[in-house]
């Protein structure tokens, strides 16, 4: 029986069950899928922000913490850090002109993997489309479904029209 583990912002899951999949929905967030093909264990995280200045209660939302939690859990399950492979997804620019969260998350993920010498064998990063990702942690297989690109514009504030000079007090 297939077991689908669903993760949301700031969460991660790992598994050594060949029947398990891990899935998530991404907009500007990034998911890093890591696995060890020899130990046949893997996992996925859902990174909300590349970094945060929030308190410790929200630190799971930050990229560095999300990556370390995932890697440490995989090591406890028997993975070898030198054999870890990665796939990275998400980081869309969902609202034009509002922020650079998506591109910042993409940069964090690619830089972290490079600094940690974890080979990223596939990615679908950036753009303006949200994505559904389904990852099989024991094999590293991933399916990505990009939704139509529907980037929203930030509403522009219009100056209020001035009426007559009547003053109310």
Q: Which residues are catalytic?
A: 29
DSSP H or E stretch at residue 134: strand 131-135
Other beta carbons less than 10 A from residue 165's beta carbon: 5
**Cα(57)–Cα(119) distance, rounded to whole angstroms?**
31
Strands 131-135, 142-146: parallel, antiparallel or unpaired by DSSP? antiparallel
The token duo for 7 is 């993760």
The token duo for 1 is 């029986």
């Amino acid at each position: 029986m297939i077991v689908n583990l669903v993760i949301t912002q700031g969460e991660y899951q790992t598994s050594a069950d060949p029947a398990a999949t891990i899935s998530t929905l991404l907009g500007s967030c990034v998911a890093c899928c890591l696995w060890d093909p020899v130990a046949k264990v893997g996992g996925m995280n859902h990174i909300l922000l590349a970094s945060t200045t929030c308190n410790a209660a929200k630190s799971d939302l930050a990229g560095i913490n999300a990556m370390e939690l995932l890697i440490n859990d995989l090591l406890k399950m028997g993975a070898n850090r030198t054999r870890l492979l990665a796939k990275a997804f998400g980081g869309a620019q969902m609202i034009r002109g509002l922020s650079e969260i998506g591109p910042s998350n993409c940069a964090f993920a690619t830089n972290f993997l490079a600094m940690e010498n974890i080979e990223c064998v596939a990615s679908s990063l950036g753009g303006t489309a949200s994505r559904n990702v389904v990852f099989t942690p024991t094999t590293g297989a991933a399916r990505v479904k990009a939704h139509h690109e529907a980037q929203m514009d930030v509403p522009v504030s219009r100056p209020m029209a001035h009426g007559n000079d009547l003053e109310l007090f």
